Chains A and B, each alone.
Chain A
Amino acid sequence: MTAPILIFGWGNPSRGDDALGPLLVERIETLALPGVECLTDFQLQVEHALDLLGRERILFVDASIEAEAPYHQRRLSPARDATFSTHAITPESVMQVYVDLHDEEPPPCDLLAIRGERFELGEPISPMASAHLEAALRWAREWMGR
């Protein structure tokens, strides 16, 4: 049975603060919360629209170099945006692909963008990003109601 809540984080765990999304998802996964499914990937892709099916709510989690520290969260809407790099399409685009595939509105989706600073290959997560991760995790637990 499909879990009603999906936490979806993306990023490359070996590129410094790009790991923030997967790390937050891993932390939530260790809580083993009933009704919560955790997924990660290197990047957001079109087929992830299929992961939205049958959910009550979805939380997308990514590192961000633009978000205010420690994190920024907002409600998302499907958007026929023109992101020019489809290897890393936006969550809004994933929602729009869902609409195009299923001809219905996707479940409510929120974005949790965690501020990161350093993204070089082989780097660990930065101390500042680690602090941001803790703050974001607290917000995510509130979002889940757990």
Chain B
Amino acid sequence: MPFELETAPHPEKLKRVAIEPVSRVEGHGKVTILLDDANKVQQVRLHIVEFRGFEKFIEGRPFWEVPVMVQRLCGICPVSHHLAASKAMDQIVGATLTPTAEKIRRLMHYGQILQSHALHFFHLSSPDLLFGFGADVATRNIVGVAAAQPEIAKMGVLLRKYGQEVIRMTSGKRVHGTGSIPGGVNKSLYPEERAALLKDIYQMVAWSRDAVHLIKGLFEKNLEQYNAFGRFAAHTMNLVRADGAMDLYHGGLRARRADGSTLFDHFDYGRYWDVITEDVKSWSYMKFPFFNAMGNSDEGWYRVGPLTRVTQSDFIPTPLADKERQEFMTFDNGSATGATLGYHWARMIEMLHAAEALKDLLHDDDISGRELMATGQRQERGVGVIEAPRGTLIHHYRADENDQVIRANLIVSTTHNNQAMNEAIRVVAKQYLDGKELTEGLLNHIEVAIRCFDPCLSCATHALGQMPLDVELVAADGTMLDRVLRDMHGVCVRE
């Protein structure tokens, strides 16, 4: 059964509005909205235009190189790829990690979560939330936040910087670190590094808690709008620890239907293909994963990421974050747990959890241990899964007897959320665009919905001048009715 608004009955008779690329998401994307003569939305699609070629980039390389080279796939979450590939390669070398190796990797991962969530909230989404979805583009950006709310901007910068420092110290380098390797890590934390991180961690916990309260306050102030904005029901999938706790580094797969019933739980991700299949659609480069048990991607699509993890884990194993989770779950009779904008609140709860987890790890002497590597029986195949900032990330490799990778399959968080993002923008298009003139502010509502998922649409190509915003209005007969270009400096030119 096709989704409402996925495919219009007679698209050739409709006007076309293209938003390309989607602004303030990590990469290139395009939204097309087909309108009829009365400006009613008839078809909405999110097109992913550049997300391809990763597997070919990896195949043929020696497996031990992969954890380092996959960082080149993404400029915004290289650590996530680094760790997921490392976990897969642990299996290929047959290793069970030493306590020091696992804790150093967890440090790196929580540093990544902290800096990524801080960047997303303070610099990508807070402009929308603080200034309103239809506010002037000149203020609705991070620099606008800095002007209007200097303390918030400073908090965001320093939280991100702290996370980057954790990554630098655990991976050995500021960019393209080599810390995590098949079977372990190549360094632990030096005493002076540990002391430097300990000095500021309590401030990071406090700021993260403030950020949770900031988004909670915004929900309280805008309850009706936030609850309704782009709201849709979805099945979910996330990793959980053996006791059901949130665990962003390791666990079994948990899938729940939209009605809350369990589809599978604590499933060994080493055989993820037994429960997930990737579908393709002719109009999108990006695949559409679905639960096998539901038969097809129209019925079996699901949602991953912070909102899923916070709502579907039984508890969070750090006290402050768990207290905030409980408040989130019961707020307004649980309404925020199904709100698309609830992603922001959940993301800040996770940032608080990451800060608390970092604090706990920094007090654990294992992070300065000397047992860094383990070995075991060589295997042909390895699957590594982590909960990356944007959601579940799957790396799957096979290596031949010459240690060359002969097959690679990556399912990244944004792919898991492909259908969910499409669903969100369809709802928003119906809510806000029907029968109205298409102003920049209205179009931004679509982008606000996409940003909730923090999608990574393409990775790390960003040469100067390469990302103009191009909005086209095309009549049913193909005539260009209107076109607006927005450059890197936010200047709009109507052609």
Q: In this assembly, does B78 line the interface, its C-beta being within 8 Å of a C-beta of chain A?
A: yes
**Quick one: given A43-B460, A67-B464, A87-B462, are A93 and B78 in contact (CB under 8 Å)?**
no
Binding-face segment, A6-14, A27-35, A131-139: A6-14
Chain A residue numbers with a CB within 8 Å of B161 are 47, 50
**Quick one: given A14-B72, A50-B157, A90-B488, are A42 and B175 in contact (CB under 8 Å)?**
yes
CA distance A56 to B161 in the complex (A): 22
Whether the pair A84, B24 counts as a contact (CB closer than 8 A) is: yes
Chain A residue numbers with a CB within 8 Å of B73 are 121
> Which residue of chain B is the closest to A101 with respect to CB atoms?
B154
**Quick one: given A12-B75, A42-B75, A97-B157, are A83 and B57 in contact (CB under 8 Å)?**
no
Chain A residue numbers with a CB within 8 Å of B142 are 46, 86, 89, 93, 97
Whether the pair A66, B465 counts as a contact (CB closer than 8 A) is: yes
> Which residue of chain A is the closest to B489 with respect to CB atoms?
A81
Whether the pair A87, B26 counts as a contact (CB closer than 8 A) is: yes
The tally of CB-CB contacts under 8 A between chains A and B is 160
Q: In this assembly, does B467 line the interface, its C-beta being within 8 Å of a C-beta of chain A?
A: yes
**Quick one: given A42-B78, A81-B488, A82-B138, are A88 and B467 in contact (CB under 8 Å)?**
yes
Shortest CB distance A87–B (Å): 5
Q: Give the size category of B's interface with A.
A: 35 or more
Q: In this assembly, does B245 line the interface, its C-beta being within 8 Å of a C-beta of chain A?
A: no
CA distance A14 to B72 in the complex (A): 6
Shortest CB distance A65–B (Å): 5
Q: In this assembly, does B297 line the interface, its C-beta being within 8 Å of a C-beta of chain A?
A: no
Whether the pair B54, A82 counts as a contact (CB closer than 8 A) is: no
Chain B residue numbers with a CB within 8 Å of A101 are 146, 153-154, 157
Whether the pair B469, A84 counts as a contact (CB closer than 8 A) is: yes
Enumerate A98-128 residues with CB–CB distance to B below 8 Å: 100-101, 113, 116, 119-122
Q: In this assembly, does B103 line the interface, its C-beta being within 8 Å of a C-beta of chain A?
A: no
Q: Which of B53, B57, B157 has the most C-beta atoms of chain A within 10 angstroms of its own C-beta?
A: B157
Chain B residue numbers with a CB within 8 Å of A57 are none
> Which residue of chain A is the closest to B447 with respect to CB atoms?
A84
Q: In this assembly, does A69 line the interface, its C-beta being within 8 Å of a C-beta of chain B?
A: no
Fill in one digit per residue for B11-37: 1 if any A CB lies within 8 Å of its CB, else 0: 000000000010111110000000000
Chain A interface (Cβ < 8 Å from any Cβ of B): 10-15, 17-18, 39-43, 45-47, 49-50, 62-67, 79-90, 93, 96-97, 100-101, 113, 116, 119-122
25 contacts between A and B (CB under 8 A): A11-B462, A11-B463, A13-B176, A39-B174, A42-B460, A43-B76, A47-B160, A65-B463, A81-B488, A81-B490, A82-B137, A82-B143, A83-B143, A83-B489, A84-B490, A86-B119, A87-B24, A87-B124, A90-B464, A97-B146, A100-B150, A116-B463, A121-B73, A122-B56, A122-B57
Chain B interface (Cβ < 8 Å from any Cβ of A): 21, 23-27, 53-54, 56-57, 69, 72-73, 75-76, 78, 119, 123-124, 137-144, 146-147, 150, 153-154, 156-157, 160-161, 164, 174-176, 459-467, 469, 486, 488-491
- Using A84-B24, A97-B143, A119-B461 as known contacts, list a sample of 14 further A-B pairs with CB atoms less than 8 Å apart, ordered by residue number in A: A41-B175, A42-B76, A45-B119, A64-B464, A80-B143, A81-B489, A82-B139, A85-B23, A85-B462, A87-B76, A96-B146, A97-B146, A119-B463, A121-B72
For the complex of A and B, 9 pairs with smallest distance between CB atoms: A82-B490, A42-B75, A84-B23, A88-B462, A66-B465, A14-B72, A100-B146, A12-B460, A64-B464
